[in-house]
Amino acid sequence: MQAHSAPASGQALLAELEGRQPPYPAWFAWALDQEPERERVDVGDDTTVEMLTWGEPGKPGLLLLHGNAAHADWWSFIAPYFAEHYRVAAFSWSGMGNSDWRKQYSLAAYADEIDAVAQAAGLFDAPQKPVAVAHSFGTFPALVYGATRGERLAGLVSMDSAILSPADRERLGRQSRPTEDAEPHRVHPTLESLVQRFRFMPPQPCENLYVVDHIARRSVYTIMPWEKDGPGYTWSFDPSIRQTLERGDPTEPLRALRCPVAFIDGEQSALMDKDAQAVRAALVPDAPVIRIPNAHHHLMADQPMAVVAALRALLAVWPGAR
C-alpha cells in the first residue's frame, strides 16, 4: 500500500494525488461494501432529503447527524459497525449532499427534519428510544430538537461542537459566520480537478487520505449537460447557508434539554480548546466527556475506529443499559 504524508493544515489534502483514488484498507472497504438503503424523505415545505439506513427495523435506533456543508456519507464508513445491533439512519440536511435546497434555512426546520427522518427510518419502532449522534454543526439543530421533543430520545451525543453563547463567542474571538457574501460554486470540467481541491472546514491535517477522498467524491454534484454537451462538476451544498442561517444562542436549548447528553471530542481539535471545554463544563458539569487521542475536529476522518469504539462503549452503559 502506498503511504501518503499528511499535507499541512489548510492545504487541499488531496492535491498531491491529482484526482487519483487512494487504496482502501480492508476495514474501510468492508464498511463501504455494506451498502445502505437510499431513500428520499418528505420533510415538509416541498422539500425532500436523502436518507441512508442500515440494520434491521425494530432494533434500537441510532440517528447520525453530520456537520455543515457535509453530507450523510460522512457516516457511511462508521454506520456499518453498528448495524448488527442497531437500526441506523443518516441523512443530509436540506441544502447539503443530495437533499433539496431551501429558500430559507432555520434550526427549527432542521429539527423538523430530524423528526421526519427518524419516523421514516422506523427509529421510534423499537421498545427503546433512539439515540442521536451529532457532529459539529449537527449539534445545533439536535439541541433544538432535544429541547422541544427530547422526550422522544434516549440521549444525544455531541461530537466536537463548541456550544458557545454569542457573548462567549465574542469574548473568545470566535467568528459566528462569514462576513463576505456567498458566491456560487465554480463548475469544474472534470471530477478529478474538483476533488483534488477539497478542504476541511475548519482546516486540519488528516493522514487517512482514503477517507478524505471518499468524503470529497460524495460531496460533488454533476451538472449535465454543461459545456459542449459534457458534464460539469461542483460542490453539492448551498453556499448561502452559512451566511443566512441564524444559530441564536445554543446554550439555551442545552439548558432546556429533555434528554441526557454526552460529548465526544477530538483531543487536538481547534474548536474544542480549553476555553470551549470550560464553558460547556459549567453548563452541563455531570455530562460524560470522551476525548479521542490524536484526533482533530473531523474526528471520524482522523480516528474512525476509535470513534466506533468510543460510541460502542458509551452506548453500552449510557444513558442506561441498551
Residue matched to cell numbers 432494533:
59
Query: Does residue 14 register a pLDDT over 90?
Result: yes
pLDDT tens digits for range 217-270: 999 999 987 766 679 999 999 999 988 898 899 999 999 999 999 999 999 999
Please, where in the chain does CATH 3.40.50.1820 lie? 34-173+239-317
Instruction: Give the range among 165-174, 279-288, 290-299 with minimum mean pLDDT.
Output: 165-174
pLDDT at 174: 86
Higher pLDDT, 148 or 6: 148
Q: Looking at the predicted structure, is the pLDDT value of residue 315 above 50?
A: yes
- pLDDT of 179 strictly over 80: no
CA distance 282 to 275: 11
178 has pLDDT over 70 = no
Does pLDDT of 207 surpass 50? yes
Residue 8: its pLDDT value, please? 46
Q: Quick one: what percent of the chain has pLDDT higher than 70? A: 93
CATH 3.40.50.1820, applies to 34-173+239-317: yes
Which pLDDT belongs to residue 226?
A: 72
Q: Where does the pLDDT of residue 45 fall: very low under 50, low under 70, confident under 90, or very high at 90 and above?
A: very high
Q: What pLDDT is stored for residue 11 in this prediction?
A: 76
Whether the pLDDT of residue 9 is over 60: the answer is: no
Q: Say what the pLDDT of residue 26 is.
A: 99
> Would residue 228 be called left, alpha or beta, if left means φ above 0 and alpha means ψ between -120 and 50 degrees?
left
Mean pLDDT along residues 146-168 = 97
Name the amino acid, one letter, at 228: K
Residue type, 271: L
**Per-residue pLDDT reduced to its tens digit, 65-115:** 999 999 999 999 999 999 999 999 999 999 999 999 999 999 999 999 999
Rounded average pLDDT over 272-292: 97
Whether residue 182 is predicted with pLDDT greater than 90 in this model: the reply is: no
pLDDT at 4 over 60: no
Mean pLDDT of the chain: 93
Structure confidence at residue 228 (pLDDT):
66
pLDDT at position 6: 40
pLDDT bin (cut points 50, 70, 90) of residue 159 is very high
